[in-house]
Chains A and B, each alone.
Chain A
Amino acid sequence: GENVEQHPSTLSVQEGDSAVIKCTYSDSASNYFPWYKQELGKRPQLIIDIRSNVGEKKDQRIAVTLNKTAKHFSLHITETQPEDSAVYFCAAPPDARGQNFVFGPGTRLSVLP
Chain B
Amino acid sequence: GAGVSQSPSNKVTEKGKDVELRCDPISGHTALYWYRQSLGQGLEFLIYFQGNSAPDKSGLPSDRFSAERTGGSVSTLTIQRTQQEDSAVYLCASSGAGLAGRTTDTQYFGPGTRLTVL
Contact = CB atoms under 8 A, between A and B. Distances in A.
Interface of A: 31-32, 34, 36, 42-46, 49, 89, 91, 93-94, 96, 98-106
Interface in B63-118: 91, 101-112
B42 A105 contact: yes
Say whether chain B's binding surface is mostly helix, strand, loop, or mixed. loop
Contact of B42 (A31, A46, A98, A104): A104
Interface residues of B, number: 24
Contacts of B42: 89, 103-106
A101 B91 contact: no
A112 to B, nearest CB: 20
B43 interface: yes
A49 B106 contact: yes
B92 to A, nearest CB: 10
Given A44-B43, A89-B42, A100 B106 contact: no
Contacts of B107: 34, 46, 91, 101
B109 A43 contact: yes
A63 B105 CA distance: 19
Contacts of B50: 99
A100 B104 contact: no
Given A43-B110, A89-B43, A103-B45, A98 B91 contact: no
Contact of B109 (A44, A93, A99): A44
26 contacts: A32-B105, A34-B106, A36-B109, A42-B111, A43-B91, A43-B109, A43-B111, A43-B112, A44-B43, A44-B109, A49-B106, A93-B102, A93-B104, A94-B103, A99-B48, A100-B45, A100-B48, A100-B56, A100-B58, A100-B59, A100-B103, A101-B107, A103-B45, A104-B42, A106-B41, A106-B42
